[in-house]
Amino acid sequence: MPQISPKIIRQIFILLLIILTGSLIFRELIPYLSGFLGAITFYILLRTFMKTLVTKFKWKPYLAALVLMLSSFIIVLIPLTGFGFMLSNKISEVSSNSEKVISAFKSQLGRLENKYNIDINSKIDTQAITSWLSESLQSMAGNTFNLIIAIGLLYFMLYFMLTNRQALKDALRHYIPMNTANLNDIGNEIQAMVKSNAIGIPLVALAQGIIALIGFLIFGIEDPFFWFVIVTIGSMIPFVGTLIGILPIFILTLSTGHSFQAWGILIYGFVVVGSTDNIIRLLVLKKLDNVHPLVTLIGVLVGVPLFGFIGLIFGPLLVSIFMALVKMYQVEYGKQTDNQLEELL
């Protein structure tokens, strides 16, 4: 009976220890995973600027890193964090508005029921829908304490990543069991995915939100900036899109008797906002990797429970990195496995 080599047994034992230890560390770091992903995202976006400041303008690495970190905080993180806190403060208003929307929707259904003698309203539980929506938005708003720690972790990691770029590259080559050529190819692919998720998706959503806001102001929609936030968030969610804001506005406005404004904003939403979606994506994403809508949808479903509001961006990024890791394994070991299968067959 053939015996297993002691070397293989030791290798398996060490691998099990690595997996067990890594799982324990990863489990405790899950609440702050957004900090790690944020550091990777900002590093990929800022490393070219860092290289230019250090090599071309002869800045000290620590000074260049601090300036870039401060710039990213002012330009990106303050507006994004404010956006999240604004959504958190609006949760009660969202619940109130959602109840109004559902009541208005049921009122419109009541007209159809009277006309066609059917019963639909009795099957709609307004309280259950508003409770679910409120809980979902509270989850999206996230935990403030965890967010502060994640931001601190993000910049702590980012500083050392920017000031020790060569050491970081050497560490990746040393610890990742791949040849240099495949590692470079996968690295370039991850960079393209990160830029698309971190720049393309938010820019498209913000542009659609601004276009929708113009329509809200034109047709005199009540609380236009609140609905601007809802439409912008909805734009990040595939297959839902701007309808998450346009349809409730249409129903609410129609229920108040303002038929012209209601139909006007509905047509504006479908024709203007809807058609500009493709134009904006073409302009913004033509130089970036266009992320498949299914990847974005799965990312949103995974990211929001994990990270809160910021999961709209980091969720798709996490899924994209997972797909890149799978491809990394396939590129490095796929041919070897195929050759072994051919030999067995």
Among 125-139, 161-175, 188-202, the range scoring the smallest mean pLDDT is: 125-139
User: What residues contact residue 319 under an 8 Å CB cut-off, 6+ apart?
Assistant: 295, 298, 299, 302
**In Å, how far are 114, 172, 298 from 195, measured between CA atoms?**
53, 20, 18
| pLDDT tens-digit series, residues 94-151 | 555 656 656 666 666 666 666 666 655 555 555 555 565 556 555 555 555 666 777 8
**Residue 171, pLDDT score:** 77
| Cβ contact 36:157 at 8 Å | yes
Cα–Cα distance, 140 to 196 (Å, whole number): 22
Amino acid occupying residue 25: I
Neighbours of 143 (CB within 10 A): 13
Taking the mean position of all CA atoms in its chain, how far away is CA 181? Answer: 30
Neighbours of 230 (CB within 10 A): 21
pTM confidence score: 0.71
| pLDDT tens-digit series, residues 319-330 | 877 887 787 777
Which residue did the predictor score with more confidence, 289 or 55? 55
Cα–Cα distance, 337 to 3 (Å, whole number): 23
Structure tokens at 315: 């969720």
Neighbours of 23 (CB within 10 A): 10
Q: Which residues of 93-129 are buried (b: 16+ CB within 10 A; e: fewer)?
A: ebbebbbbbbebbbeeeeeeeeeeeeeeeeeeeeeee
**Residue 344, pLDDT score:** 46
Torsion sign over Cα 330, 335, 341, 345: positive
User: What residues contact residue 153 under an 8 Å CB cut-off, 6+ apart?
Assistant: 32, 35, 36, 39
| Runs of H (alpha helix) within 52-200 | 61-72, 78-89, 91-116, 126-141, 144-163, 165-175, 180-195
Helix (H, G, I), strand (E, B) or coil at 288: coil
